[in-house]
Amino acid sequence: MINKLVSKIKKTEAPIVVGLDPMPGFIPEYILKESFDKYGQTPEGMADAFFEFNKGIIDAVCDLVPAVKPQIAMYEQLGLAGLAAFDMTVRYCKQKDLVVIGDVKRGDIGSTSAAYATGHLGKVKIGSGFFAGFDEDFATVNPYLGSDGIKPFVDVCREYKKGIFVLVKTSNPSSGEFQDREIDGKPLYEHVGEAVDKWGSELMGDDYSYVGAVVGATYPEMGKKLRGIMPKAYILVPGYGAQGGTGKDLAGFFDKDGLGAIVNSSRGIIAAWQKDPYKEKFSEREYADAARAAVLDMKEDINSAIL
């Protein structure tokens, strides 16, 4: 799957992933009304609105970008109805041949981590049959529990040709509270980066490993350092746009050929219709066109900085 991701990035010339993180405030009134008319002002109604909203975005950007990243928390807050919308979103994206990165930040130990890996990337055996749960292509994973938490994911990735992105240095302001603390002369995130490099060396694709890393756009110097520490890891970069990262911050995350990193934007794209400069040009009913325009602008911003 890492090979497919790299190949699609080359083809689209867009190292961009669209974060499908719907929030009620981002969704045009006419979509909410249609969904509420069908299902009432209920979790089912909101989940239907999430999916309809996503479909519009996906249709509008699927030829421009290699991948999408639905954030499962947004769906999970609606309980089962929301998770059904997450599942439908993953399936719809895969029909459109998009690579789906499930932003699930799971992590546990042993058989429990194996269960998460199975539910998101693999198949569960029941009787003589095998069944996929959510069936994303990649998942994000939390490293706090050490190798016991990561290895079961790596095993499932090997079997099903899927991949993971391990949290190394997250984009948020307080990420340094633990991640930046110095251990033997180096911050914790560098130690985690070294572990990612080691875990990933056991599961290589053509040029990059199936084990990638998450490093926030908001910490460009650290991104540059980590690029060197994990030469085979694709870096998933959140924090562009709404969180403050800009194209020029990103050069250090990439290799010389413009590969090696993929930058996420969520609300900067899916809620572009509400923001300058798009809100002047696009109406509520053109929210998907606004998203497409925002992707094209982001592509230009990033490529001008890295190529």
Tokens of 271: 């809620």
Nearer to a copy of itself, 239 or 260 (CB): 239
Contact present, 36 and 28 (Cβ < 8 Å): no
- Using alpha carbons only, what angle is made at residue 260 by residues 195 and 88, rounded to the nearest 5 degrees? 90
155, 164, 234 from 152: Cα distances, Å: 5, 11, 20
Q: Among 256, 154, 207, which residue's Cα sits nearest to residue 2? A: 207
Quote the CA–CA distance of 192 and 19 in Å, as a whole number. Answer: 25
Closest distance to a copy of itself from the beta carbon of 63 (Å): 28
Determine whether 10 is an active site residue. no
| Residue with smaller CB distance to a copy of itself, 186 or 281 | 186
Which amino acid belongs to residue 56? G
Q: How far is 118 from 112, CA to CA, in rounded Å? A: 10
CB of 95 to a copy of itself, least distance (A): 18
3-state secondary structure of 300: helix
Q: Give the separation between CA 253 and CA 236, rounded to whole angstroms.
A: 9
- Which residue lies nearer to a copy of itself by CB, 123 or 224? 123
Q: Which of 8, 10, 55, 105 is catalytic?
A: 105
Least distance to a copy of itself, CB of residue 40, Å: 8
The DSSP 8-state label assigned to residue 266 in this structure reads: S
Which residue, 146 or 231, has its beta carbon nearer to a copy of itself? 146
**Cβ at position 253, least distance to a copy of itself in Å:** 19
How far apart CA 56 and CA 67 sit, in angstroms, is 15
Which two tokens mark 284? 């509520």
In the complex, least distance from residue 228 CB atom to a copy of itself, rounded to whole angstroms: 20
Tell me how far apart the terminal alpha carbons of the chain are, to the nearest angstrom. 24
Residue number with CB closer to a copy of itself (176 or 258):
176
CA angle 22, 24, 26 (to 5 degrees): 65
C-beta of 6 vs 229, nearer to a copy of itself: 229
Do 247 and 14 touch, CB atoms closer than 8 A? no
Q: How far is the CB of 255 from a copy of itself (least distance, A)?
A: 26
Which residue type does 10 have? Answer: K
Helix (H) or strand (E) holding 263: strand 261-265
Question: Which residues does the annotation mark as catalytic?
Answer: 105
